[in-house]
């Protein structure tokens, strides 16, 4: 298919995405992970209908890189905030703990499965694959608990806590990606850099560019110039990262953190940049879906089952810990951790970044498992979240009496999607 | 807080910070290109776009206090970072940026058409008519004559030509000299937000001159073919093609304009995405149909403005989207400037460009007197007509393709001359707008003073 036609198709998707952000209800669309768009991409891609060929995907690599970088920048800008509020320190610790526990469990499960089956190539390949799967499985989508918070902000302790955890578990997965990318540095580099320095260079580059942007944004300037600065520096970050072979996601994420921390205009910037997230995410997910190859490796089903199983167990353990230490979570029961099963945009982005950086078995396997984990998360997460919140008394059953339902029932199908929330 | 107050606050510290940061970003790009000399595919284009956007924006702010237009800042940023200076952006990357150019040209033409109010154009029809006639005639005749006289002693590629062939080439050069730059005009008007007789006249003139030039070049091409290539006869083929192109462009542009107006009335959301679809998708279709892209989009903009009540809304959307795209467009044009060629051909290029500018200057009061224009137009109408850019270069490519025997030399000289006009023209136009008091004193909304929109 003609590249321009595909580009126009992607723009149309952006258009649809912007409507979802803008508050128009489209029944049946708007899962927190956006995995349905990845499925659409898979159907259109070379492994199904073949409408989007492999050469088209290669031609669109710059577009994908820009999308990934910009999304990571938006996530970085939003890091540590849930809505307009800064997250509590406790939530930051819990979010980081959740990511480390879940990512570690998924990575270990993938590693031991490969070891057991005797697959996975060289030891570096195995580390990359297991680490990539761990990074992709570690986080919970920021949109998972959003509708509850939108509905009853400030009066739902458990929903607030879960929402804050979901907003703070992106840090370690992206550090892990930086470390993993460093294991196979670009061969075109003209100078010798020790492997251990690459992650520091990745983070340093992001912080440096973010600080530069923040300095520029401290003074008052026309809105168009503000966009030029944000977009210009982000593109420099993306281009420099791809040329150096380091993680675009990590560089842009830390750039977002630095901009958010140093400008003093965090709220205004989020208001400017936030609405771009969904329109950029949807085409990226479609392109990610088109790249998915479930036959990347014969061992893929086993590795996927082990990693997703590990993720599930880790979430249960984390939920149990959470229930031990938090009264609202205790009311929800030990399975409260499964409420955080919805993985989302970042997981798919990590999968896609691996597929671009390590084409072949490693990248394709990580991407396929990211998509599978997001799909499983959609089946488990929203249902468990509803049960947890019911048990905690923060929502009432929709089947309850009309008076009770009016007080606190979740939004109907028609309204929930407009908030980007999950069908629960 | 008004933008004006913000501007007043900008002192040496502000500009020094921007200069240092620009230096820092340049150093980073320089370092990365040296540390990893080889780049895979077109991924470096991403960083190039980002750098041109940032450098253009910062440099334009740095040059603003000395009265230079933003556009000049964008061009200088492009030249400095391009393949002939600091080499931060290489030739391959500049070629890859052509996609941005088609988007920018579509926005420029849409914006230009949407700025043309039919009632105003009708009121100034007499002015436009005389100006078009006088400027085209003066420039065509004088520049053709100068080229003919100066060719043998100063232009190497003409020395082997016979006298009839030289007449033909001189006529082609004269026709090329008649072209103006809608993009530069729109770029300056977008920055200054100027309103008044000079702004309106210049916009209307450059937009209508696009059609005039297309017709003129087709006419000259048909006439000079037998002079340059004696084996070829006089041909009317180019007129048939021209008719198809003009009628098709107007028809498609009208349809597109009506659809846009309907969309603005019924939906009126996400115009950024709609404009991107138009810029990439519609441009491809127009190229495929072999219509004139600039004319088609210009007609579409004109229809939205004059056949619906959505014109102002549409103009505001284009201004918002266009600013960022213009920076990349002009910075890329700067990066594309062949500096070694300019160094080699500058004496003749300067003579030709200077003569063209002088003739334009002399023609303005004459056409103004014939049309009974107000003094401001008689004095300054020429200032916006000096710029040349993409259209002239596009036509030079067409001429080079039609006449391969002179193609390379002709195109090189065109690039050198356009480079001079491209640098000087916008400065003159902005100076004139400032002097006539048409530059707006109301600045654009600024960050972070703006009220943040509600989060979705």
* Residue B323, both tokens: 């600013």
CATH code: domain of residue B430: 1.20.1530.20
Concatenating the DSSP letter of every residue in A141-173 gives -TTTTHHHHHHSTTS-HHHHHHHHHHHH-SHHH
pLDDT tens digits for range A47-65: 888 877 777 777 778 888 8
Q: Which residues pair with A323 in a beta bridge?
A: none
Per-residue pLDDT of chain B (456 residues; tens, 9 = 90+): 334 444 545 677 788 888 999 999 999 988 888 888 776 666 788 888 899 999 999 998 888 888 788 888 888 898 888 888 888 888 888 887 777 777 887 888 888 788 788 888 888 889 999 999 999 999 999 999 999 998 888 888 888 888 988 998 899 999 889 988 888 888 888 788 888 899 989 988 988 887 788 778 878 877 888 887 777 666 666 677 778 888 898 999 999 999 999 999 888 877 877 888 888 888 888 888 888 887 888 899 999 999 888 888 888 888 777 778 888 888 888 888 778 877 888 888 899 999 999 999 999 999 999 999 999 999 999 999 998 877 787 778 778 777 888 877 888 888 888 888 888 899 999 999 999 988 876 655 555 544 434 433
3-state SS track over A245-301: CCCHHHHHHHHHHHHHHHHCCHHHHHHHHHHHHHHHHHHHHHHHHHHCCCCCCCCHH
How many structural domains is chain B composed of?
2
Which pairing describes strands A85-86 and A221-222: parallel, antiparallel, or unpaired?
Answer: unpaired
Q: Is B378 within the bounds of a domain?
A: yes
Whole-angstrom Cα distance, residue A195 to residue A193? 6
Q: How many CB atoms lie within 10 A of CB A50?
A: 11
Whether B76 and B124 map to the same domain: the answer is no
Whether B156 and B92 map to the same domain: the answer is no
Whole-angstrom Cα distance, residue B247 to residue A298? 60
Whole-angstrom Cα distance, residue A218 to residue A14? 31
Q: How many CB atoms lie within 10 A of CB B434?
A: 14
Q: How many CB atoms lie within 10 A of CB A359?
A: 12
Q: B324 at the A interface (CB within 8 A)?
A: yes
* Residue A117, both tokens: 């089956």
Cα B214 off chain centre by:
15
Q: What is the pLDDT of residue B110?
A: 87
Q: Is the CB of residue A32 less than 8 Å from the CB of residue A342?
A: yes
A229: which chain B residues are within 8 Å (Cβ-Cβ)?
54, 57
Whole-angstrom Cα distance, residue A254 to residue A259? 8
Concatenating the DSSP letter of every residue in A78-104 gives HTTEETTEEPPHHHHHHHHHHHHHHHH
Least Cα separation, residue B225 to chain A (angstroms): 36
Beta carbons of B444 and A190 less than 8 Å apart: no
Whether B193 and B309 map to the same domain: the answer is yes
Concatenating the DSSP letter of every residue in A310-345 gives HHHHHHHHHHHHHHHH-HHHHHH-GGGGGGGG---H
Fold of A3-411: Na+/H+ antiporter like fold (1.20.1530)
Least Cα separation, residue B118 to chain A (angstroms): 29
Average pLDDT over residues A215-241: 87
B48: which chain A residues are within 8 Å (Cβ-Cβ)?
239
Whether B134 and B216 map to the same domain: the answer is yes
Whose CA is closest to A365, among A298, A306, A286? Answer: A298
pLDDT at A34 over 50: yes
Q: Which residues contact A203 (CB under 8 A, 6 or more apart)?
A: A175, A178, A250, A251, A254
Q: What is the pLDDT of residue A399?
A: 58
Q: Is B337 within the bounds of a domain?
A: yes
Whose CA is closest to A106, among A74, A66, A87, A133? Answer: A133
Buried b / exposed e over B61-88, threshold 16 CB at 10 Å, is bbbbeeebbbbbbbbbbbbbbbbbbeeb
Model confidence at A23, pLDDT cuts 50, 70, 90, reads: very low
pLDDT tens digits for range A172-208: 999 999 999 988 876 677 677 787 888 999 999 999 9
pLDDT at A37 over 50: yes
Average pLDDT over residues A7-20: 66
pLDDT tens digits for range A339-397: 888 887 888 899 999 998 898 888 999 999 999 998 898 888 888 888 888 887 777 66
Out of B96, B125, B159, a domain closes at B96
Q: How many CB atoms lie within 10 A of CB A90?
A: 13
Q: Is the CB of residue A400 less than 8 Å from the CB of residue A332?
A: no
Residue-number span of the structural domain to which B29 is assigned: 10-96
Q: B270 at the A interface (CB within 8 A)?
A: yes
* Residue A21, both tokens: 């952000």
Beta carbons of B50 and A212 less than 8 Å apart: no
Q: Which residues contact B109 (CB under 8 A, 6 or more apart)?
A: B182, B293, B294, B295, B296, B297, B298, B301
Q: B64 at the A interface (CB within 8 A)?
A: no
Q: B50 at the A interface (CB within 8 A)?
A: yes
Q: Is B191 within the bounds of a domain?
A: yes
Q: Is B385 within the bounds of a domain?
A: yes
A239: which chain B residues are within 8 Å (Cβ-Cβ)?
43-48, 50-51
Whether B87 and B119 map to the same domain: the answer is no
Residue in this structure with the two tokens 């599930």, named with its chain if needed = A312
Q: Is B450 within the bounds of a domain?
A: no
Whole-angstrom Cα distance, residue B253 to residue B255? 5
Q: What is the pLDDT of residue B275?
A: 85
pLDDT at A6 over 90: no
Residue in this structure with the two tokens 């249960």, named with its chain if needed = A316
Nearest CA in chain A to B24: A212
Whether B128 and B205 map to the same domain: the answer is yes
Beta carbons of B43 and A65 less than 8 Å apart: yes
From B17, B43, B444, residue closest to A224, measured CB to CB: B444
Nearest CA in chain A to B23: A212
Which sequence spans correspond to the domains of chain A? Answer: 3-411
Whether B201 and B112 map to the same domain: the answer is yes
Q: Exposed/middle/buried for A114, CB within 10 Å: 0-12, 13-18, 19+?
A: buried
Beta carbons of A11 and B281 less than 8 Å apart: yes
Q: Which residues contact B358 (CB under 8 A, 6 or more apart)?
A: none
Q: What is the pLDDT of residue A14?
A: 64
- State which H helix or E strand residue A221 sits in: strand A221-222
Least Cα separation, residue B305 to chain A (angstroms): 24
Beta carbons of B269 and A22 less than 8 Å apart: yes
A65: which chain B residues are within 8 Å (Cβ-Cβ)?
43, 46
Least Cα separation, residue B278 to chain A (angstroms): 9
3-state SS track over B293-359: HHHHHHHHHHHHHHCCCCHHHHHHHHHHHHHHHHHHHHHHHHHCCCHHHHHHHHHHHHHHHHHHHHH
pLDDT at A423 over 60: no
- Calculate the alpha carbon distances from B8 to A219, A253, B5, B407, B456 in Å: 12, 35, 5, 51, 35
From A15, A229, A232, residue closest to B273, measured CB to CB: A15
Q: B329 at the A interface (CB within 8 A)?
A: no
From A188, A231, A245, residue closest to B53, measured CB to CB: A231
Q: What is the pLDDT of residue B236?
A: 67
Instruction: Mutate one of B31, B45, B46, B279 to test the A interface: name it (highest A CB count within 10 A).
Output: B46
Q: Is B228 within the bounds of a domain?
A: yes
Cα A38 off chain centre by:
13
Q: B320 at the A interface (CB within 8 A)?
A: yes
Q: B274 at the A interface (CB within 8 A)?
A: yes
Out of B96, B129, B149, a domain closes at B96
Q: Is B43 within the bounds of a domain?
A: yes
Least Cα separation, residue B451 to chain A (angstroms): 8
* DSSP state letter for A122: S
Which pairing describes strands A81-82 and A221-222: parallel, antiparallel, or unpaired?
Answer: unpaired
- Calculate the alpha carbon distances from B233 to B221, B228, B230 in Å: 12, 11, 7
Q: What is the pLDDT of residue A341?
A: 85
Q: Is B143 within the bounds of a domain?
A: yes
The dihedrals phi and psi of A154, each to the nearest 5 degrees, come to 90, -10
């Amino acid at each position: 298919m003609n590249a321009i036609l595909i580009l126009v198709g992607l723009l149309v998707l952006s258009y649809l995405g912007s409507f979802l952000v803008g508050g128009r209800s489209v029944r049946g669309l708007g899962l927190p992970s956006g995995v349905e768009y990845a499925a659409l991409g898979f159907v259109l891609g070379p492994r199904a209908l073949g409408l989007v060929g492999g050469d088209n995907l290669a031609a669109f690599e710059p577009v994908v890189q820009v999308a990934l970088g910009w999304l990571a920048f938006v996530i970085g800008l939003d890091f540590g905030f849930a809505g307009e509020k800064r997250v509590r320190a406790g939530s930051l610790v819990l979010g980081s703990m959740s990511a480390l526990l879940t990512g570690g469990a998924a990575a270990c499960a993938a590693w031991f499965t490969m070891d057991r089956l005797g697959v996975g190539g060289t030891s570096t390949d195995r580390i990359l694959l297991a680490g990539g799967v761990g990074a992709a499985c570690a986080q919970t989508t920021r949109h998972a608990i959003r509708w509850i918070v939108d509905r009853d902000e400030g009066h739902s302790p458990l929903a607030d806590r879960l929402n804050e955890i979901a907003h703070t578990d992106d840090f370690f997965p992206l550090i892990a990606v930086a470390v993993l990318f460093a294991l196979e540095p670009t061969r075109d580099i003209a100078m010798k850099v020790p492997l251990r320095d690459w992650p520091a260079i990745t983070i340093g580059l992001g912080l440096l560019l973010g600080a530069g942007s923040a300095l520029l944004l401290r003074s008052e300037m026309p809105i168009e110039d503000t966009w030029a600065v944000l977009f210009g520096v982000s593109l420099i970050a993306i281009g420099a990262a791809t040329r150096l072979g380091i993680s675009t996601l990590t560089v842009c994420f830390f750039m977002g953190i630095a901009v958010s921390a140093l400008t003093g205009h965090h709220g205004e910037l989020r208001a400017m940049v936030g609405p771009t997230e969904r329109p950029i995410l949807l085409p990226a997910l479609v392109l990610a879906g088109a790249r998915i190859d479930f036959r990347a490796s014969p061992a893929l089903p086993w590795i996927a089952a082990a990693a997703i199983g590990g993720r599930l167990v880790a979430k249960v353990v984390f939920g149990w810990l959470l229930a031990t230490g938090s009264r609202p979570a205790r009311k929800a029961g030990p399975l409260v951790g499964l409420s955080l099963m919805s993985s989302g945009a970042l997981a798919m982005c990590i999968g896609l970044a691996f597929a671009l950086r390590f084409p072949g078995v490693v990248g394709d396997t990580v991407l396929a498992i990211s998509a599978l984990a997001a799909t499983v998360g959609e089946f488990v997460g929203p249902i468990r979240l509803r049960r947890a919140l019911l048990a905690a008394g923060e929502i009432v059953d929709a089947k309850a009496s009309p008076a009770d339902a009016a007080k606190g029932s979740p939004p109907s199908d028609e309204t929930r999607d407009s908030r980007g929330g999950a069908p629960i | 807080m008004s933008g004006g107050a913000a501007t007043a606050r900008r002192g040496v510290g502000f500009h020094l910070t921007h200069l240092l940061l620009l230096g820092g970003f340049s150093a980073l790009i320089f370092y990365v290109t040296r540390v990893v000399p080889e780049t895979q595919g077109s991924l470096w284009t991403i960083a190039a776009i980002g750098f041109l956007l940032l450098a253009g924006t910062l440099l334009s702010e740095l040059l603003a206090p000395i009265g230079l237009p933003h556009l000049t800042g964008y061009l200088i940023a492009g030249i400095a970072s391009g393949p002939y200076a600091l080499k931060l952006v290489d030739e391959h990357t500049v070629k890859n940026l052509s996609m941005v150019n088609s988007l920018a040209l579509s926005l420029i033409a849409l914006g230009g058409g949407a700025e043309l109010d039919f009632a105003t154009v009708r009121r100034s029809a007499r002015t436009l008519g005389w100006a078009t006639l006088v400027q085209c005639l003066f420039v065509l005749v004088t520049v053709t004559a100068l080229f003919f006289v100066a060719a043998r002693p100063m232009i190497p590629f003409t020395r082997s030509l016979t006298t009839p062939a030289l007449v033909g080439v001189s006529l082609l050069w004269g026709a090329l000299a008649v072209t103006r730059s809608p993009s530069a005009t729109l770029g300056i008007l977008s920055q200054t937000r100027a309103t008044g007789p000079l702004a309106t006249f210049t916009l209307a003139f450059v937009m209508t001159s696009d059609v005039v030039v297309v017709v003129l070049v087709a006419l000259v091409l048909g006439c000079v073919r037998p002079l340059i290539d004696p084996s070829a006869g006089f041909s009317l083929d180019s007129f048939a093609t021209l008719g198809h192109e003009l009628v098709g462009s107007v028809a498609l542009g009208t349809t597109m304009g009506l659809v846009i107006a309907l969309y603005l009335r019924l939906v009126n959301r996400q115009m950024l995405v709609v404009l991107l679809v138009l810029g990439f998708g519609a441009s491809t279709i127009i190229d495929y149909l072999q219509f004139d892209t600039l004319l088609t989009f210009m007609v579409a903009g004109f229809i939205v403005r004059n056949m619906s009540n959505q014109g102002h809304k549409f103009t505001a959307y284009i201004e918002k989207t266009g600013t960022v795209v213009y920076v990349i467009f002009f910075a890329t044009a700067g990066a594309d400037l062949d500096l070694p060629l300019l160094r080699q051909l500058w004496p003749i290029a300067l003579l030709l460009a200077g003569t063209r500018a002088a003739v334009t200057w002399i023609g303005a009061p004459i056409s103004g007197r014939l049309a009974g224009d107000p003094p401001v137009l008689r004095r300054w109408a020429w200032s916006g007509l000096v710029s040349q850019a993409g259209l002239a270069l596009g036509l030079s490519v067409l001429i080079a393709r039609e006449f391969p025997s002179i193609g390379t030399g002709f195109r090189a000289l065109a690039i050198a001359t356009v480079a001079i006009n491209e640098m000087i023209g916008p400065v003159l136009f902005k100076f004139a707008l400032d002097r006539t008091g048409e530059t707006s004193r109301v600045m654009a909304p600024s960050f972070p003073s703006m009220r943040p929109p509600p989060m979705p």
